[in-house]
Copies of this chain bind each other. A is one copy, B any other.
């Protein structure tokens, strides 16, 4: 019998098994570099190894941990590998993991201030810290009419921003009457797909999302935005929302917030700024230009779970006018009424996002900031940016390759000059080798490789090896020796 008659894991067993898991993770940190980055399993391969039905009797913890090793691990794509250069990073860290572990252990629900005051107050407080750390507009601080909250993802943040914009534009009547106005929203052609998802969810419809053209740097063209708004107004439609991006997913383009913000002010349109990955860069003064004009924004988000060593999920979402957000999302049934809420002296974060329940997510962000200090975070952001710039330099120096877009920070978009097929072959070859993982996008309808540098333990040697692997794969794909082989 693996368990006593209560079936529960005793605190002492928890100590034993907990240590085993901690050791497993520490070992994982040490060996992840040598594991194939992109899982090489085929569809269905993991499921085939699992029992058809649930166990009637409990099993030993050792058996479970063994199955993680033997069944699960081969099916894992290693986002924590220093050779992970795909998508955007999701860079975890020891303090983040342990802060989250404490959150699991405390197991509190933070839906109301009253259901665990520390859960709410630490979150408000740390999000105020982050305003200072990134030098964000003071209007986002909780001491003003604004404030911050941790959302699950930038998708959730964008949806909440859009809903608040929708309600503000309708005099808070769509919540009651349903969508009954010809509302229109705007984003660039490069905006993240979560914008389109939000437009659908909120009932505006794809047809009412205008895709604004971008300039040669893939940044939104303010003149095109202004023109689109004016055309919609002339046609009797109601522009209500603009989503600008600081660091687009495809190519890290930075939309010009100041010019966009002026247009939004002129037309009384809600401006949301999505800085999902790149926002973190503003911890360094030299990169704060990306937020120039952010004081025009009604809302803003970025994800410490991408580039700030805080494990998923942790999106910091700020609004300049929290009353609009709360009025949009607040519903107070009798079973949630309490004195603190009625006093008006507290934030009840259930009114700041879609779900009612919420875990104590501020702990992990607090731990990360305190462990690294602002100095440590700056150190790593600078390091990642420098590695990306060095990689970009290598691309530029190679006759067979070219940069496909400016690389202002830690993402390098590049391509082999031989065309889409060659680039696809290069990507497939390096990814199937298991030695690294990159992904692609399309820019000007051409297949473009994305080298995203931001994993916690990525060092110079990993980036250099990646570049070698890419050039070797190019050599195989083109049937020509790579430049490095020629050099050698």
Q: Is the CB of A80 within 8 A of B58?
A: no
Q: Is the CB of B334 within 8 A of A105?
A: no
Q: Is the CB of B43 within 8 A of A335?
A: no
**Distance in Å: Cβ of A64 to nearest Cβ of chain B:** 5
Question: Which chain B residue has the least Cβ–Cβ distance from A450?
Answer: B335
Q: Is the CB of A77 closer than 8 A to any CB of chain B?
A: yes
Cα A440 to Cα B337 with chains together (Å): 9
Which of A117-170 touch B at CB < 8 Å?
117-119, 121-122, 124-125, 129-130, 132-133, 152-156, 159, 163, 166
Q: Is the CB of A389 closer than 8 A to any CB of chain B?
A: no
A71 surroundings in chain B (CB, below 8 A):
118
Q: Is the CB of B179 within 8 A of A179?
A: yes
User: Beta-carbon contacts of A53-78 to B below 8 Å, as 1s and 0s?
Assistant: 11111110101100010011111111
Q: Is the CB of A93 closer than 8 A to any CB of chain B?
A: yes
A77 surroundings in chain B (CB, below 8 A):
108, 114-117
Question: Which chain B residue has the least Cβ–Cβ distance from A27?
Answer: B11
User: Beta-carbon contacts of A94-125 to B below 8 Å, as 1s and 0s?
Assistant: 11111011101111110001111111011011
**Distance in Å: Cβ of A234 to nearest Cβ of chain B:** 19
Interface size of A as a range: 35 or more
Q: Is the CB of A203 within 8 A of B203?
A: yes
**Distance in Å: Cβ of A398 to nearest Cβ of chain B:** 24
Q: Is the CB of A46 within 8 A of B176?
A: no
Flag the segment in A193-201, A266-274, A400-408, A477-485 that touches B.
Answer: A193-201
Contact among B41, B87, B197, B372 for A335, CB-based, below 8 A: B87
A340 surroundings in chain B (CB, below 8 A):
43
Q: Is the CB of A379 closer than 8 A to any CB of chain B?
A: yes
**Distance in Å: Cβ of A116 to nearest Cβ of chain B:** 5
Q: Is the CB of B90 within 8 A of A104?
A: no
Contact among B15, B24, B118, B180 for A23, CB-based, below 8 A: B15
Q: Is the CB of A163 within 8 A of B201?
A: yes
Question: Which chain B residue has the least Cβ–Cβ distance from A77?
Answer: B116
**Distance in Å: Cβ of A50 to nearest Cβ of chain B:** 5
**Distance in Å: Cβ of A438 to nearest Cβ of chain B:** 11
Cα A73 to Cα B118 with chains together (Å): 8
Q: Is the CB of A323 closer than 8 A to any CB of chain B?
A: no
Q: Is the CB of A335 within 8 A of B14?
A: no
Q: With A12-B26, A29-B11, A359-B313 known to touch, is A376 a contact of B3 (CB < 8 Å)? A: yes
Q: With A28-B106, A77-B117, A118-B39 known to touch, is A205 a contact of B178 (CB < 8 Å)? A: yes
